[in-house]
Amino acid sequence: MRVTSRFSLFAATAALTVSCAANAAPVFINILTGGTSGVYYPIGVGLSQIYSDGIPGAKTSVQATKASVENLNLLQAGRGELALALGDSVADAKNGVEDAGFKAPLTKLRAIAGAYPNYIQIVANKESGIKTLADLKGKTISVGAPKSGTELNARAIFKAAGLTYEDMSKVQYLPFAESVELIKNRQLDATLQSSGLGMAAIRDLSSTMPLNYVAIPPDVVTKIGNAAYQPAQIPANTYDGQPESVPTVAITNIFVTREDVSEDVAYQMTKLMFENLTRLGNSHSAAKDIKLQNAARNLPIPLHPGAERYYKEAGAL
C-alpha cells in the first residue's frame, strides 16, 4: 500500500506540474516600429525572432506604425511592450509637449536602451535644382506623417535655417515609401527622412534616378538649440550617386517600454538584445551601431528596473 500511495502521490504531483506548465500564461511582446520601408520595422522583426527563440512562452508580434509619436502614445495606453522612438520625441513625451503630439506627460515610459542614431536625410530629384536648404523655397517636399518624429525634426531644422513650411510651394505629409514614389513620378521635388543610414526607400530611389543630397551645416544644427540634435555626416557612397560625405544631423533612437512590463521580461528583452547584436545587425545595418557601453547613458527617461539589472550585471552601469 505504501508503494502504491507513493506512486500515486508522485503521479499526481507530476500531472499537476505538467498541467501548470501547460497553463502558464504566455509572455506577449508586441513591438511597435514604423513604416515597413523604414529601419524600425526590420529591426523590430529581428528582435521579435530573437525574443521568440530566447524567452520561454513568448508570443511576439511586430506592429507597423507612424513611428515615434504614435509608438509612445500606444505604450502609454498599454498597447505594446517595446517600441523604437527618437530621443527628442521621448523627451517631449515625458514633458507632455502638446505641439509634438502629447496631450499630457506620458508617465509610464521607461527606457530599455539607447540605440543607433537616426540621420536626417534630405534628398531631391537632381532636375529640381535643389542643392541647399535655401533652395527648398518654392519647391515641393514631403516631411513625414503629421507630428511624427520625422516631421518634428523637419520643423526644428527648417526653423533653424530660417525657413517655414509657407516658404515651400507645397508640403506633403507622407511616409517614406509614398514620398519616394512621388519623386519618381516627378510629382514631388524632395523628401526629408529621419532614419538609419542605408534605408531602403532612399536606396531604391537613388538606384532609379540622379539625386542631390542636401547638407545641413553644423551652424544650423547649433541654432536648433536642442542637445538631442548633434552634427553628423552621411558617409560617402552610402547611396548610389553620393561620392562625398554629407553634413547632417544625428538624433539617438531609444528602445522604450512601459513601467508595468515585468522586471523579468524587461531584463530578458535587454539581455537578449545585447547577446544577439550580430544577429540583430543582420536585420538592418543600422543596428550595427547599437553599443552596450552607450546604451544606458544620457537617456531622457528612467531606465526600467529590469534593464538596469542587466546593465549592472554586464558592467555597463
Q: How many residues does the chain have?
A: 317
pLDDT reading at 263 higher than 60? yes
pLDDT reading at 302 higher than 50? yes
Report the distance separating Cα 112 and Cα 131, nearest Å.
39
Q: State residue 148's pLDDT score.
A: 84
Arithmetic mean of pLDDT over the chain = 91
CA distances from 301 to 36, 77, 248, 312 (A): 27, 17, 26, 18
Q: State residue 219's pLDDT score.
A: 97
Q: State residue 20's pLDDT score.
A: 41
State pTM to two decimals.
Answer: 0.80
Helix (H) or strand (E) segment spanning residue 150 = helix 149-160
C-alpha cell read off for 239: 547611396
User: How does residue 98 score in pLDDT terms, banded at 50, 70 and 90?
Assistant: very high
Question: Please, which residues have CB within 8 angstroms of residue 305's CB and are 6 or more apart in sequence?
Answer: 263, 266
Q: State residue 24's pLDDT score.
A: 59
Q: State residue 23's pLDDT score.
A: 52
Residue 109, beta-bridge partner list? 258
Q: State residue 25's pLDDT score.
A: 80
User: How does residue 9 score in pLDDT terms, banded at 50, 70 and 90?
Assistant: very low
Helix 68-76 and helix 87-95, axial crossing angle in degrees, nearest 10: 40
Nearest CA-CA partner of 204 in 243, 235, 177, 237:
177
- The more confident residue out of 302 and 38 is 302
